[in-house]
Amino acid sequence: MENEKCEYLCVHEKVVEKVINNMPKEEKLYDLAELFKMFGDSTRIKILYALFESELCVCDIAQLLNVSQTAVSHQLRVLKTNKLVKYRKEGKNSFYSLADNHVCSIINQGMEHINE
Amino acid sequence: MENEKCEYLCVHEKVVEKVINNMPKEEKLYDLAELFKMFGDSTRIKILYALFESELCVCDIAQLLNVSQTAVSHQLRVLKTNKLVKYRKEGKNSFYSLADNHVCSIINQGMEHINE
DNA sequence: GTATCATATGAACAAATAAACATATGTAGA
DNA sequence: TCTACATATGTTTATTTGTTCATATGATAC
């Protein structure tokens, strides 16, 4: 912390105090960042978007995104760990689908922002 | 691409075709990922959340997040480049604020997802 | 002018992460 | 049981990204 003076002198105290009181817990904010991190990779976004339509097996996703099976599988695992997708097994296939509607609405919100 | 067979054989063609038709352009999806990437870091999320309340100067943010001035400045630049915050100068201070309401609504959507 | 303060920026370093590669698991059919 | 196939996983590598340190810029007060 090279600039001690700054940290203590120029602060607009009332506003800062008010902001601090309204901030969620550190841990919540951390989780929130983790959630958004899931949407912050183009391969994962594509996977999620693809699942908007319907459940898909790993192979379907790999082909339609033109990405290797391994890469898809790794990313699906990440998404599954973070509860954004769920899956069911049917024979040799694993069918993945979106875990809940929040996923859709978050992505749509983002899309709206892009499209203006 | 070690697994050619898979890419061509097991695909559920009708569904895949339908999904492809409804996917946004590659570039859009890339931008979308870039947008969410902004929210995918806890320092940046904290900064944005802090700005929910009111505009703040760099020093205010640094103190209330307990992060170095330099780190805050770097992140603010990233956020500014990506049009999530704007700023005005007043004497020695730079006051930053949220660029628009989408930022709020996206974060709130994410928060809802966390809180269930 | 000089000193001080608030902010910005460049470079270096460390940590995180996504993809590739090799391989393992598990299922179905012959 | 043997083979083929769909998926998963461990490891390594290359890249990205966030922070720190050092320094620069720009403004105010003296």
Contact A69, B28 (CB under 8 A): no
Distance of CA A63 to the CA centre of its chain: 22
Chain B residues near residue A41 by CB distance under 8 angstroms: 33, 37
pLDDT in tens, chain A (116 residues): 333 444 456 778 888 999 999 999 999 999 999 999 999 999 999 999 999 989 999 999 999 999 999 999 999 999 999 999 999 999 999 999 999 999 999 999 999 999 98
What's the pLDDT at A4? Answer: 41
Contact residues, chain A, for B70 at CB < 8 Å: 2-3
Strands (E) in B54-98, as ranges, are 56-57, 85-90, 93-98
Q: How far apart are CA B107 and CA B116, in angstroms?
A: 15
Angle value at C-alpha A10, between A9 and A13, nearest 5 degrees = 95
Is the C-beta atom of A81 closer than 7 angstroms to strand D? no
Chain A and chain B share a number of CB contacts under 8 A equal to: 193
- A19's CB contacts (< 8 A; 6+ apart) are B50, B53, B54, B56, B60, B64
Q: Chain A closest CA to B70's CA: distance in Å?
A: 9
State phi, psi for B96 to the nearest 5 degrees.
-105, 150
B16 to A106: CB separation less than 8 angstroms, yes or no: no
Q: What is the pLDDT of residues A38-52, one digit of tens each?
A: 999 999 999 999 999
Largest CA distance in chain A: 66
Q: Which residues of A17-28 are buried (b: 16+ CB within 10 A; e: fewer)?
A: eebeeebbeeee
Cα separation of A60 and A67, whole Å?
A: 10
| Rounded distance between C-alpha atoms, residue A2 and residue B16, angstroms | 56
pLDDT in tens, B53-86: 899 999 999 999 999 999 999 999 999 999 999 9
- Two structure tokens written together for A86: 């769920």
The strand D neighbours among B residues 47-66, by Cβ under 7 Å, are none
pLDDT of residue B1: 32
Q: Is B96 helix (H, G, I), strand (E, B) or coil?
A: strand
Q: Which residue has the higher pLDDT, B29 or B7?
A: B29
Q: Are A85 and A76 in contact (CB under 8 A)?
A: yes
Beta sheet of A93-98, edge-to-edge order: A56-57, A93-98, A85-90
8 Å CB contact between B70 and A39: no
Tell me how far CA of residue B32 lies from CA of A38, A46, A52, A106, B97, in angstroms: 12, 10, 15, 11, 22
Q: What is the pTM of this model?
A: 0.91
**What was the pLDDT predicted at B9?**
62
| Chain B residues touching residue A60 (CB < 8 angstroms) | 10-12, 15-16, 19
